[in-house]
Amino acid sequence: MRVLLTGAAGFIGTAVRRTLETDGHDVVPVDALLPQAHRTPPDVEGVHRLDVRDAGEWGDLLDGVDVVCHQAALVGAGVTVADLPEYAAHNDLGTAALLAAMSAHDVGNLVLASSMVVYGEGRYACPEHATVAPVPRSVAALDAGDFDNHCPACDRVLAWELVEESARLDPRSSYAASKVAQEHYASAWARQAGASAVALRYHNVYGPGMPRDTPYSGVAAIFRSSLARGEAPRVFEDGGQMRDFVHVDDVARANLAAVRAVGAREVGELSAYNVCSGSPVSILDVARILARQAGGAEPVVTGQYRSGDVRHVVASPALSARELGFAAQISPYEGLAGFASAPLRD
């Protein structure tokens, strides 16, 4: 198949490109090479240097393309509110422009890189009131060191459960809002254009080539960068936050499965899938695994918190296994141990 891949020079895009090409697909790599994403120029062999916001002016690049695999996005926590227009421009407007250009060139299949941030908080159960949706944690509770979510009815501490794709969308950051918007634009496009879309909701992706310490990077790269500087990883809250860490090679395999599957999907619909390992791990355990493997200082639990953070978000891999045939091959314990000495990119 001919696959146009956006964000092809990025950390995830590079792995997706390699996996698609190894499987025999004809990949058209595109990347805007934004300075926010690349402090030093990455390997850009054959990459078309183009911005998705200008997809309407890409000429014949989309002709003959079977599937667009859209990885290009500004990622991570918005550092200041000044970032808001950047998320709206690169993620919202970029996706809308790309979808309109696809329609103009009769490209009817989209694989979209989405994120678990669309859920906001994960799924929780109260021992008495079953599944409940917690309200955002209050500043007063967080300042007092109470990091858990409590049942709105009886105030008991809530236990985490696996989030399914049917969960309510509740974005808590500018980045999360832009990922929800991307899914909604893709869904509207599928309906209006009689097209098919698959959204892959990535959990905490890590692996070789992850960008070195930036405020836009996930916690695995932040811990790894601290250890490389000879510093202890600094763990926020009490370290009990649960996440699902999924290796970039598994994310690439999920994209391959979606690229193969999207053409046979019902037209007019977007289907969303969790892309996760299925093995939740606490943030303190992530820090410990990386520190021990790197022979570095033991993590420091700081008790600090970030206002936009959710407590736990871990997911069920069942639907992607059933409908895409995707199952992660790398457990977080094995993968994170390898990541402790993997190269990072600037």
Contact residues: ligand UD1, CB under 6 A: 75-77, 115-117, 175, 202-205, 218-219, 222, 234-237, 241, 243, 283, 306, 309
- The number of angstroms, rounded, from the C-alpha of 22 to the middle of its chain's C-alpha atoms is 23
For 165, the token pair is 């794709």
Please state whether beta strands 2-6 and 67-70 pair in parallel, antiparallel, or not at all (unpaired): parallel
Nearest alpha-carbon partner for 307 in 239, 237, 244: 237
DSSP one-letter string for 250-318:
HHHHHHHHHHHHHTTSPTTEEEEEEE--S--EEHHHHHHHHHHHHT-PPPEE-----TT--S---B--H
Taking the C-alpha atoms of residue 99 and residue 55, their distance in angstroms, rounded to an integer, is 9
For 76, the token pair is 């991570």
Nearer to ligand UD1, 6 or 109 (CB): 6
Nearer to ligand UD1, 225 or 271 (CB): 225
Nearer to ligand UD1, 165 or 196 (CB): 165
**Minimum distance of ligand UD1 from residue 46's CB (angstroms):** 27
- Angle subtended at Cα 27 by Cα 21 and Cα 32, rounded to the nearest 5 degrees: 120
Q: Report how far apart, in Å, the C-alpha atoms of 3 and of each of 42, 133, 183, 260 are.
A: 21, 39, 20, 10
Q: Is 175 a catalytic residue?
A: yes
**Minimum distance of ligand UD1 from residue 137's CB (angstroms):** 12
Nearer to ligand UD1, 77 or 336 (CB): 77
**Minimum distance of ligand UD1 from residue 343's CB (angstroms):** 20
**Minimum distance of ligand UD1 from residue 109's CB (angstroms):** 23
SS3 25: coil
**Minimum distance of ligand UD1 from residue 67's CB (angstroms):** 22
Nearer to ligand UD1, 234 or 260 (CB): 234
**Minimum distance of ligand UD1 from residue 193's CB (angstroms):** 27
CA neighbours closer than 13 Å in the CB half-sphere of residue 168: 9
User: Which of 87, 119, 124, 175 is an active site residue?
Assistant: 175
Taking the C-alpha atoms of residue 95 and residue 8, their distance in angstroms, rounded to an integer, is 15
CA neighbours closer than 13 Å in the CB half-sphere of residue 160: 20
Nearer to ligand UD1, 132 or 176 (CB): 176
The answer to whether 110 and 195 have CB atoms below 8 angstroms apart is yes
Taking the C-alpha atoms of residue 133 and residue 124, their distance in angstroms, rounded to an integer, is 7
Give the catalytic positions in this structure: 175
